[in-house]
Chain A
């Protein structure tokens, strides 16, 4: 008998069979009923078949490689836990970056999972649906692995015990939360441009590299390992984001102004959220990697430059907020840290003033601005702390309606003056930190007038536990708000100096490295 040996299908062909080959045009219901969100945003797609799969990872290969990465990751996490790896970090101040990450970033990974699951159903094209479904799984894996990694620190240090509850309530966590809420409540195409492209391609290196390098430089092997494990997924996410942009722009020239508007909006919204990273890099890492300014120059100005040069052939231009960001980059981290120092009583992580050596590093990285504008107030605060008069701002701040950040941003070009912008809508006033946040509001006011602004919600009495009694004689509204936040007063908040974290870390590290006399513990 003549057996014909068929040639094994190549990668492209195999991938096509497993994706296009399994797709069909619906006949029992019309396609636009099955995909109801495909057109309302005004994006025109004429031929979904023109989609080019960025990575051709079939499900069997996906499972194989993801499983391998999981096995490696959990082996390292186990070793880290068994060896009390938490005591190898530079000093316990570093751990506050993990608190910020768990409460601020990990819940966003979960929302990314939800968002990609949604668009992974809603795109009429099978190629992007498959890619989005895989990204949805990746994002779920990221939130899980982040929680696992940081759970070890939760055993020993404060502020991480209720990250999910805090993400939905705390004044500074509404910043990342509202960013993602804005994205997942947009249509599928805006979501892809916002998250798949602007966040995962343009800005991702400004979130991940600082946190992961920060972990590497400060002896946190578990977070480094999580970072590496996630990064290879991120490479797939980046290529998906880039392919989406290319595909949309090649389908119809009428898509260009819509896409440009989204790139402008989401680059700005993303950079505003990255304020937290800027301050983390410059103020919260005992061993610093590089300055925020340097990171911006490498990861956006250089890398982003090449990207936008490539996209210029479609008519895409650099986001127009770049000029503002350039003027802010010498000031952002200092002003942001000052906010958290002001409101250190209401944060679920510790704050502190940099010491003399750290201030010298800041001077060297910010020669035009640190000594002139920021050193004087930081030295004053340090002096006051030494006298037992540590500054805590006890009055709630004004927030920007769009980015929800306290209105601390100064006029680009004049760092002595707060920047104010206003809009009127339907008989009410709204305030913004910048022309860019104002523009986002003005474009879709119905969306942003429903922002859950933490300060206003507190004034409305919505931030108390059910058993709080405002009529009681000793009612302390700020203390009740902290209770609502599930912040353990005196343990999760206030200055690093004098904290449980500081005392415990020093005690345990001492035990790990010195011999104890007397009775065993």
Chain B
């Protein structure tokens, strides 16, 4: 154990997947749209279809931004922890290789926020 402790120190993991009532945590960041100040956090079922994320979840989170309605989803580039990946929309988060507390970001080409300032 690397923590400097007075006696043996149990590692109590506060955010293990077993604590989320069947869900897992997924973080999503829309690149170049810092109007949303930070990446967003979601608790979703592991078998949640990726396509439903785009159709049903992201609009509620992002549609305030004037760029959102302009997104061409077929041109969007996806990244998992910064590494490019191509999600299969009909498959689930887990089937797409997304586990608990994974981070995905997406670029909507040509859309760079308010007055092009990445806001």
- A residues sitting closer than 8 Å to B (CB atoms) are 36-37, 40-42, 186-187, 190, 335, 338-339, 342, 372-374, 376-377, 380, 391, 393-399, 406-408, 410, 416-418, 420, 422, 426, 428-431, 443-447, 449-453, 455-456, 459-461
Contacts and interface: CB of A to CB of B under 8 A. Distances in A.
A429 B24 CA distance: 12
Which 3 A-B pairs give the minimum distances between C-beta atoms? Answer: A377-B119, A416-B118, A459-B43
Nearest to A337: B37
A446 B16 CA distance: 13
Contact of B12 (A342, A429, A449): A449
A31 B6 CA distance: 17
Given A394-B61, A459-B25, 11 more contacts: A373-B118, A377-B119, A393-B36, A397-B41, A417-B118, A418-B29, A418-B34, A449-B12, A456-B14, A459-B20, A460-B15
B116 to A, nearest CB: 8
Interface stretch (B47-55, B68-76, B95-103): B95-103
Given A40-B4, A376-B115, A446 B9 contact: yes
A40 B117 contact: no
Contact of A376 (B4, B42, B114): B114
Contacts of B77: none
A429 B82 CA distance: 14
18 contacts: A37-B6, A40-B5, A338-B34, A342-B37, A377-B34, A377-B114, A380-B114, A395-B42, A395-B61, A398-B40, A398-B103, A407-B38, A428-B101, A443-B2, A446-B11, A449-B12, A450-B13, A460-B20
B37 A393 contact: yes
A410 B4 CA distance: 31
Nearest to A392: B64
Given A377-B35, A431-B27, A459-B23, A450 B12 contact: yes
A396 B40 contact: yes
B38 A408 contact: yes
B117 A398 contact: no
Nearest to A336: B37
Given A429-B101, A453-B14, A445 B2 contact: yes
B69 to A, nearest CB: 15
A116 B41 CA distance: 37
Nearest to B101: A429
Contacts of B20: 459-460
A420 B82 contact: yes
Interface centre among B9, B23, B37 (most CB of A within 10 A): B37
Contact of A335 (B31, B37, B115): B37
B37 A408 contact: yes
Contact of A444 (B4, B14, B43, B103): B4
B51 to A, nearest CB: 19
A505 to B, nearest CB: 29
Interface residues of B, number: 49
A449 B13 CA distance: 5
Contact of B102 (A429, A447, A452): A429
B14 A397 contact: no
B114 A446 contact: no
Nearest to A401: B15
Contact of B40 (A37, A397, A456, A459): A397
Contacts of B119: 373-374, 376-377, 380
A140 B77 CA distance: 54
Nearest to A451: B14
A376 B14 contact: no
Contacts of A37: 6
A443 B1 CA distance: 10
Given A376-B117, A446-B2, A429 B23 contact: no
Contacts of B64: 391
Contacts of A451: 14
B42 to A, nearest CB: 7
B103 A420 contact: yes
Contacts of B101: 428-431
A376 B40 CA distance: 22
Given A41-B4, A377-B119, A396-B41, A449 B36 contact: no
Contacts of B32: 416
A461 B21 contact: yes
Given A41-B4, A397-B38, A449 B27 contact: no
B37 A426 contact: no
B38 A450 contact: no
A395 B41 contact: yes
